Amino acid sequence: MSAESIISELRAAIETHQHPQIMTPQQAADFLGVSDYYLLDLRKKGAGPTYSQPGSKIVRYQRDDLVAWLNENLVTAK
């Protein structure tokens, strides 16, 4: 399956399934199809999708930032 077809499937899923605009790390992980530990690891490394941290133990992701991060990491097959 190519990266473009995966992105297309994700876009279709976004349109058919209403995800909240602002998500917890677990919701964001479910949205991306990864574990919440993976997102935690990315945050510790200063990588991954943009997130907000309004409190020391509160992390939130915006749906548009998650989609933007997916689009920034497209890889084309050679």
Average pLDDT over residues 11-39: 86
Domain boundaries, the chain: 3-72
Q: What is the pLDDT of residue 8?
A: 78
pLDDT exceeds 80 at position 17: no
Q: How far apart are CA 6 and CA 24, in angstroms?
A: 23
What is the pLDDT averaged over residues 26-38? 94
Q: Binning pLDDT at 50, 70 and 90, where does residue 49 land?
A: very high
- By percentage, how much of the chain surpasses pLDDT 90? 62
Q: What CA–CA distance (Å, rounded) separates 72 from 57?
A: 27
Q: Is 66 exposed, middle or buried (0-12, 13-18, 19+ CB in 10 A)?
A: buried
Does residue 56 carry a pLDDT above 80?
A: yes
Among the four given CATH numbers 3.40.50, 1.20.120, 1.10.3470, 1.10.10, the one describing domain 3-72: 1.10.10
Instruction: List the Cα angle 51/46/17 in 5-degree steps.
Output: 35
